[in-house]
Amino acid sequence: MNRDRPRVCLLQVPPFAAGRTGTGAQVVAAEIASALAESADVTLLHGYTDDSPRAVHRDATGVLTVPAFRITAQTLRGTIAPHLTPVAREALDAAHLLVTMECTLSGGPAVPRVVCLGGFGYAHTFELLDGGGWDRLVVPSRHLADMLRRRVAEPDSVQVIENGIDPDAFAPSRPARTPAPPPGQPVRLLLPGRPDAIKGGAAVLDLARALAADGTPTTVYRMGGRRSPVAGRPDGHPGVTVADLPWRDRAAMPELYRQADLTICFSGIPEGFNLAAVESIACGTPVLAWPAGALGTLLPPGHGIVLTDRDAGPQAWAAAARDALAGAWRDCREGRRYIRDRYDVSLMASRYRALVAQLLSAA
């Protein structure tokens, strides 16, 4: 520890392993920790379960990761009581600033606090908002900021810092144009999240059946935390195959997007920012999405996202899917340019560093 550098604690609920994170808040947490470590001593405090690693670890960027508290029903709802391991308590007591990801800490040191909230409508959202106690509430889109400013006591405390990706890591495998699958050619759909109803697990199967009914054999790849892949199997509808995949290491995600013809973002949650959509388009694979949350304004029309109404039904979704496939190369090329200018991880990192420097200076 360098006593001349500020000390920052970053708090999240899931067990942390930066190389094994897939999408969502854990990815953002890893990027924030790495960015802040350039100018601060960063300790990442995370939850643990009976079967998760319990060792303290320092990664290549200098971030110290510490199993800090047992994951319970309470912590999964976003509120962490101050029952921390001794190492975690020591780090927290020495901190100059606290950043929490999708959660809030009951009690703790009287230092500036940044709460990061990625979406709206989760079980823990209202508890987190009602708990207050932050100096800055950071959200990843104007859409989410507008919603929260109408609810929180201090609207000016809400700040937008858009999430970012590394456009050099998330890139097409080759720059040459890849034609859309011709009629009758098999199509591969990727659901880059849990295959439950709130993440579109049932709807993506309805879409696949609609495509198959019109003569397009379709395979649905779903991610669900299995330890090993499950080979494709018929789902009971002619022409539809389902394959379940384990969560992938972060470095393996670009190849997963590249192998798909179309990524499906059918979320029933008004999320603040869909990182998977940006990652997929950056890799050259278009996205079919319901316009929930910020997805409707994430990229301009013609930049890789084709929107379809949730209530339109499977036949309309299938027509929109064919539109997305037909314009995939052109639209994703424009989308990649927009992503590099707007959602580069270096922009996100610099904005978090500036925010932390501002709060520490004011303190």
* Higher pLDDT pick, 161 / 47: 161
pLDDT at 312 over 80: yes
Q: How confident is the model at residue 229 (pLDDT cuts 50, 70, 90)?
A: very low
H helix count then E strand count, the chain? 11, 17
Residue 320 CA to its chain's centroid (Å): 24
In the prediction, which pLDDT does 118 show? Answer: 81
Tokens of 112: 């500036």
Written as one string, the DSSP assignment of 274-322 is -HHHHHHHHTT--EEE---GGGGGSS-TTSSEEE--GGG-HHHHHHHHH
Percent of the chain exceeding pLDDT 70 equals 87
Quick one: 187-342 is in which CATH superfamily?
Answer: Glycogen Phosphorylase B; (3.40.50.2000)
CA-CA distances (angstroms) from residue 84 to 9, 47, 112? 13, 10, 20
Strands (E), 316-360: none
226, amino acid identity: R
Please give the average per-residue pLDDT across 321-336, as a whole number. 92
Percent of the chain exceeding pLDDT 90 equals 51
Please give the average per-residue pLDDT across 30-50, as a whole number. 90
Q: What is the mean pLDDT of the chain?
A: 86
pLDDT tens track for 167-183: 999 998 865 556 666 77
Strands (E), the chain: 7-12, 41-48, 57-58, 64-70, 79-80, 97-101, 104-105, 113-116, 136-139, 158-160, 187-191, 218-223, 230-234, 240-245, 262-265, 287-289, 305-307
Tokens of 132: 């207050």
Class of domain 7-164+344-362: alpha beta
Cα separation of 133 and 137, whole Å?
10
Cα separation of 337 and 341, whole Å?
6
In the prediction, which pLDDT does 352 show? Answer: 96
Sorted by where each begins, the domain ranges of the chain are: 7-164+344-362, 187-342
In the prediction, which pLDDT does 185 show? Answer: 87
pLDDT at 18 over 70: no
In the prediction, which pLDDT does 236 show? Answer: 63
pLDDT tens track for 280-305: 999 999 999 999 888 889 999 999 99
Nearest to 26 by CA among 280, 268, 253: 253
Model-level pTM?
Answer: 0.87
